[in-house]
Amino acid sequence: MIEVEHLTKRYGPRTAVQDVSFRVGKGEIVGFLGPNGAGKSTTLRMLTGFLAPSGGAIRIDGIDALAKPIEAKKRIGYMPEACPIYPEMRVREYLRYRAELKGVASRAIKERIEIALDQASVKEAGDRIIGQLSKGTRQRVGLADALVADPPILVLDEPTAGLDPNQIRQVRDLVRGLAGKKTVLVSTHILPEVESTCDRVVIIHRGRVVREGAPDQLRQAI
Ligand code: ADP
Ligand code: ADP
């Protein structure tokens, strides 16, 4: 479903991502593990079409994502580390705006919002003002945003960053609940956060893939 080949990103003289290749099958949950600065965000942002690679190829569902970024983007729900959130909007109002932006058919929007709120366990906050929500709840609003257009692929960049252990558990359970329904790519810098949720982990270090495998295979390696 996702094929990444020899992906490279340079920021001026600095190479942030170097010759990264991996594949993700339909319905798989894959974790991207690496310390801060390893190149996880840069990789995920190229995958989601927010950042142009310096080299390499990305295919999503057989579509050349670099040649047809809009087609590719439609298939992906992306939750950036810092969710771009409108503090003055109410949650349902925000999701409506986002659904419209993503081209969800107007007659489907209402239902899609309720399903996304439910999938992200954030229904009780639906009528609240975003700026007044806790970080954990805002994170779940970000997840509802990623889900609102019902994309087959979800890309979650450090969804647990800055959350407390209880909120981390909630996010983990949410990701686990998507197993079999969505193809999920999730980044983190802490292995325990992905080992119980992911089918496979790709370890990134200094912009390169250094290892990949099932979480229990990688335990001894870390
Ligand atoms: P991670 O998500 O693993 O923390 P990033 O992909 O954010 O890593 O960053 C990889 C490297 O690229 C880091 O050294 C970072 O400082 C650098 N980098 C990221 N974005 C930019 C940018 N816009 N300009 C220059 N360097 C950047
Ligand atoms: P992450 O590691 O999760 O990407 P960062 O705090 O490193 O988070 O990056 C936040 C933003 O700053 C991103 O848009 C990234 O591209 C940019 N950035 C990161 N490092 C640099 C850098 N060295 N120079 C310029 N921009 C950077």
pLDDT for position 156: 95
Confidence band, pLDDT 50/70/90 cuts, at residue 222: low
Mutate to test the pocket of ligand 2, among 15, 17, 32, 41 (most ligand atoms within 8 A of CB): 41
Q: Which secondary structure element, helix H or strand E, spans residue 19, and what is its range?
A: strand 14-24
Cα gap 191→170, rounded to integer Å:
17
Confidence band, pLDDT 50/70/90 cuts, at residue 215: confident
Residue minimizing CA distance to atom 4 of ligand 2: 41
Cα gap 36→189, rounded to integer Å:
7
Confidence band, pLDDT 50/70/90 cuts, at residue 98: very high
Question: ipTM higher than 0.90?
Answer: no
pLDDT for 65 beyond 70 = yes
Query: What number does the ligand 2 atom closest to the CA of 37 have?
Result: 2
pLDDT for position 221: 60
For the CA atoms of 32, 35, 39, 45, what is the dihedral angle to 10 degrees? Answer: 60
Ligand 1 binding pocket includes 40 (Cβ within 6 Å): yes
Which are the contacts of 216, defined by CB distance < 8 A and separation ≥ 6?
Answer: 195
Ligand 1 binding pocket includes 52 (Cβ within 6 Å): no
Residue minimizing CA distance to atom 18 of ligand 1: 16
Question: Average pLDDT of 39-68?
Answer: 95
- 142-166: string of b/e by CB count within 10 Å (b at 16+)? bbbbbbbbbbbbbbbbbbbbebeee
Cα gap 154→182, rounded to integer Å:
7
For residue range 157-188, what is the model confidence (pLDDT) as tens digits?
A: 999 888 888 888 888 888 888 888 999 999 98
